[in-house]
Amino acid sequence: MILLLFSIFFVMLILRIPIGISLAVSSSIVLVLSGFNLSMFPQKMFTAMESFPLLAIPGFVTAGVILARGGLTKYLINALEAWLGHLPGGLAIVTVLTCTIFAAISGSSPATAAAVGSIMIPAMVNNGYDKKYAMGLVAASGTLGMLIPPSIVLIMFGIIAEISIGKLFIAGVIPGIFLSGVLLASAIFYARKNNYKSMKKASWEEKKKHTFKAVWGMLLPIIIMGSIYTGIATPTESSIIAVVYGIIVSAFVYKELKFRDTRTILVESINVTSMIFLIIGGASLLSLFLTNEQIPVALGEWLGTINLNKWGFFILTGILFLILGVFLESVSIILITLPILLPMVYYFGIDPFHFAIVMTINLEIGMITPPVGLNLFVVSGITREKVEDVVKGVFPFIILLILALILVIIFPSISLWLTEFMK
Amino acid sequence: MGRLNKYWTLLEDVLTGIFFISGLGLIFYGVILRYVFKTPKPWVEEISMYCVLWGILFGLSIALRNNQHISIDLFYDKLSPTIKRVVDIIANFVGVVFCVCLVYYSAVLVVSTHKTGMVSMTVGIPMWLVYLILPLSGFFFLIRFIERFIKNMRKAGTYDSSSI
C-alpha cells in the first residue's frame, strides 16, 4: 500500500502537478482503498491549517515582502558598506551580514537570497569579483534565512513535534551566527587570496548618515527576538508586530511604500503563503494514512532489531534529506518525514530542539544542492545566468556548510545552550 | 476574454485582501488589547485565525494564476514540446478533477455540519459558515485550472514554465 502511495505520488510529481495536490490526491487514493470515505478529507485538511501558531507563516512572509520593497534592505546595505566596505573582501562581508540580518526578519531562504542578491551581485561584479563566486556566495548566505529565526521550517517543526516554537527560534540563534561566521571567514579568506580591491573608506559623516538611516531596520530583529525571548509575545504575535513596524517605517520614515503598493505586497505574500498551506493540507492526508497504517510504530520496532546508534541515525537522516532535497522543498520534506522520524529521535535520546536545528541545516544545504535547489533558481533568475554557473560558484559553500553541520551535530550545546536560559 | 480575466483577477485579489488583511489586523488588535490595555479578548484569536485562513484559501487560485504552486520541473524540462503539452494537459486535468472533488465533498461537509449545528470553540460561530470557504475557494481554484486546461488544449506553452 505504501509502495502504491509513493508510486502515485512520484508519477504525479513527474507530471508537474503541484506538490500539495500530488500529496492530497495520492494519499486520498490509498485511503479510499483502505476503506476511508472521501467526504471526511476536506475537513481533515482544514483542521490541519486551523492553528493559530501556523499564522506566524503569513506574518513573517508578509514582513519579508514589506522589508524587501520598503527600502529597509537598501539602507542596511548602505550602512554596512560605509562601515565595512574598505576591508579586504568588504562587499562579500556586507553580503553575508545583510543576509544574516535579513534572515532575522524574514523566515525563508529564497526571500533572503532574492532581496539581497538583486542589489549585492551587481555591486560585487562591478567591483571586480568573479561572477560565479558572487552568485554562489548569495545563494549560500541566503540559506541562513531558514535557520536564523524567525524561520518557517522551525515553525512547522514546532507544530508537528508539539514543542515550543519560541524555544526553537532561540535554539536557532547561535547555530545561525556560527554559520554566518563560517561564511564570513571564507569570504575574507577568498577575497585576500584573489586580491579583490576594496572600496574607499567612508568618512565619519557618511558613516553617521547611513547608520541613522539604517537603524530603524536594524531594530526589527531585536524587537522580534526580544519579544519572543522574554515571552512577551508568541511567534505569531511578534510576526504581526514586525509587519506593522515594517509598514510604519517604510511608509512614514523611508517614504518608499505607497498605499497603491498594497495589492502587489498582498499578492506576493499570498503567493508564498497559499502555496505552503496547500502543501500543509495535502500532507495532512498523508499523515492520516501513515498513522492509520501504524508506519511510525513499525519503523520503531524495526529500528530496535538493527544495530543503529545515534550517530548512524544522524548520518542516515542526513542522506535521506539530501535525497529528498533533490525533489522536494523544505516544508514538504518536514511534513512528510518528521511524523515518522520523531519517535526515533526520542528513541535515541536526542533532544528534539537539537534535532530541529540539525534538520534545518540539512534542509539549508538542500536549498543549494543541484538539481532542485530553490536558491540556485532564485539567483539564476536575478542574474539571468545559467543554473549550471550558479552551481559551480556554490559548490565550495556546500562543503563548508556540511563541515559546519558536522560540528553542530557533534556539539549539541551549540543549539541548546541559549535555550537553557529561557523562561 | 482579456477584460473578463482582468475583473476576475481583481475579484480574487479583493476577496483575498479583505480577509487576509483584516485577519492580520485583528491579530495586531489582539496584541494591543493584551499588552497595552491588559484586557485580552479570547474571541480575537479565533476570528482572526478564520479570517486569515479564508484569505489564504481564496489565495490558492492567485498562486496558481502566478505559477507559484511549487512543482517539479526536473523531468519536465527534458521533454520535447509535444510531450510537454501532453503532460500539461494531464496535469491540469488532474487539477480540475481534484477541485471538482474538493468542491463537491466540502459542499457535502457544509450541509452536514449545518444539520448537526456544530459551532466553533470560543465564539460559537456556526462551523458550516467557516467551512463554506472550502467549496468557495475550491471553485475559484477550479476556474483557474479550467482556464489553463483550455489554453493547453488550444496551443502549447501559453503560460511560461517558471515555477519559482
Q: What is the pLDDT of residues A188-217, one digit of tens each?
A: 888 888 877 777 778 888 888 888 888 888
Q: Does B70 touch chain A (CB under 8 A)?
A: yes
Exposure on the CB side of residue B102, measured as CA atoms within 13 A:
30
Q: Is the peptide bond before A150 cis (omega within 30 degrees of 0)?
A: yes
Query: A174-188, A236-250, A293-307, B114-128 — which is least confidently predicted?
Result: A293-307
**Nearest CB neighbour to A271, from listed B48, B49, B68:** B68
Q: Contact B28/A327, CB-based, under 8 Å? A: no
Q: Quick one: pLDDT band at residue A384, thresholds 50, 70, 90?
A: confident
What pLDDT does residue B130 have? Answer: 93
pLDDT at A398 over 90: yes
Q: Mean pLDDT, chain B, as a whole number? A: 88
Query: A55-64, A65-74, A195-204, A225-234 — which is least confidently predicted?
Result: A195-204
**Nearest CB neighbour to B71, from listed A19, A25, A237:** A19
What pLDDT does residue A367 have? Answer: 87
Question: Which grid cell is A150?
Answer: 524567525
What pLDDT does residue B61 have? Answer: 96
Question: Which grid cell is A239?
Answer: 510576526
| Mean pLDDT within B17-45 | 89
pLDDT at A57 over 70: yes
Q: Quick one: pLDDT band at residue B137, thresholds 50, 70, 90?
A: very high
Which chain A residues have a beta carbon less than 8 Å from that of B76?
A: 14, 16
Q: Are A359 and A172 in contact (CB under 8 A)?
A: no
Where is pLDDT greater, at B157 or A163? A163
Which residue blocks in A249-329 are alpha helix, DSSP H? 262-292, 295-305, 310-327
Give the 3-state secondary structure of residue A257. Answer: coil
Residues 6+ apart with CB under 8 A from B161: B67, B73, B76, B77
Residues 6+ apart with CB under 8 A from A150: A56, A60, A104, A105, A106, A107, A169, A224, A235, A238, A239
Report which of A16, A106, A10, A94 is spatially closest to residue A323, judged by C-alpha positions: A10
What pLDDT does residue A86 have? Answer: 85
Interface of B with A in 95-134 (CB under 8 A): 95, 98, 101-102, 105-106, 108-109, 112, 131, 134
| B119 strand-pairing partners | B126
Q: What is the pLDDT of residues A308-359, one digit of tens each?
A: 888 989 999 999 998 888 778 788 899 989 988 998 899 889 999 999 999 9
Provide the CA A233 distance to its chain's centre, in angstroms: 22
| Mean pLDDT within B39-67 | 92
Q: Which residue of A has its CA nearest to B134?
A: A42
Best of B12, B34, B50, B69 to mutate (most A CBs within 10 Å, chain A) = B69
Q: End-to-end distance of chain A based on CA atoms, in angstroms?
A: 45
Q: Quick one: pLDDT band at residue A383, thresholds 50, 70, 90?
A: confident
Q: Are B149 and B69 in contact (CB under 8 A)?
A: no
Rounded percentage of chain A residues whose pLDDT exceeds 90? 44
Interface of A with B in 302-341 (CB under 8 A): 326-329, 332
Q: What is the DSSP string of chain B?
A: -HHHHHHHHHHHHHHHHHHHHHHHHHHHHHHHHHHTS----HHHHHHHHHHHHHHHHHHHHHHHHTT-S----TTGGGS-HHHHHHHHHHHHHHHHHHHHHHHHHHHHHHHHHHHHT-B-SSS--BHHHHHTHHHHHHHHHHHHHHHHHHHHHH-TTSS-----
Q: Does A260 touch chain B (CB under 8 A)?
A: no
Q: Which residue of B has its CA nearest to A47?
A: B131
Q: Contact B16/A266, CB-based, under 8 Å? A: yes
Q: Contact A275/B68, CB-based, under 8 Å? A: yes
Which chain B residues have a beta carbon less than 8 Å from that of A39?
A: 105, 108-109, 112
pLDDT at B3 over 90: no
Q: Are A23 and A285 in contact (CB under 8 A)?
A: yes
| B126 strand-pairing partners | B119
What pLDDT does residue A423 have? Answer: 55
Query: Which amino acid is residue A354, in one-letter code?
Result: H
Question: Which grid cell is A312?
Answer: 548512524
**Nearest CB neighbour to A270, from listed B20, B53, B95:** B20
Q: Contact A110/B73, CB-based, under 8 Å? A: no
| Mean pLDDT within B6-19 | 95
What pLDDT does residue B38 have? Answer: 79
What pLDDT does residue B1 have? Answer: 66
Q: Which residue of A has its CA nearest to B48?
A: A52
Rounded percentage of chain A residues whose pLDDT exceeds 70? 100
Q: Mean pLDDT, chain A, as a whole number? A: 89
pLDDT at B163 over 70: no
**Nearest CB neighbour to B56, from listed A16, A273, A332:** A273
Q: What is the pLDDT of residues B55-89, one digit of tens each?
A: 999 999 999 999 888 887 778 888 888 888 999 99
Interface confidence (ipTM) of the complex = 0.92
Query: Which amino acid is residue A73, in one-letter code?
Result: T
Distance (Å, whole) CA B31 – CA B38: 9
Rg of chain A (C-alpha set): 22
Q: What is the DSSP string of A183-224?
A: HHHHHHHHHHHTTPPPPPPPPHHHHHHHHHHHHHHHHHHHHH
| Mean pLDDT within A221-242 | 88
| Phi, psi values for residue B119, rounded to 5° | -125, 160
Distance (Å, whole) CA A109 – CA A223: 21
Exposure on the CB side of residue B147, measured as CA atoms within 13 A:
20
CB-based burial of residue B64 (10 Å sphere; 0-12 exposed, 13-18 middle, 19+ buried)?
buried
Report which of B123, B118, B119, B127 is spatially closest to residue B42, judged by C-alpha positions: B123
Q: Positive or negative CA dihedral for A343, A346, A350, A352?
A: positive
What pLDDT does residue A263 have? Answer: 93
Q: Contact A236/B73, CB-based, under 8 Å? A: no
pLDDT at A402 over 60: yes
Distance (Å, whole) CA A367 – CA A246: 27
What pLDDT does residue B158 have? Answer: 46
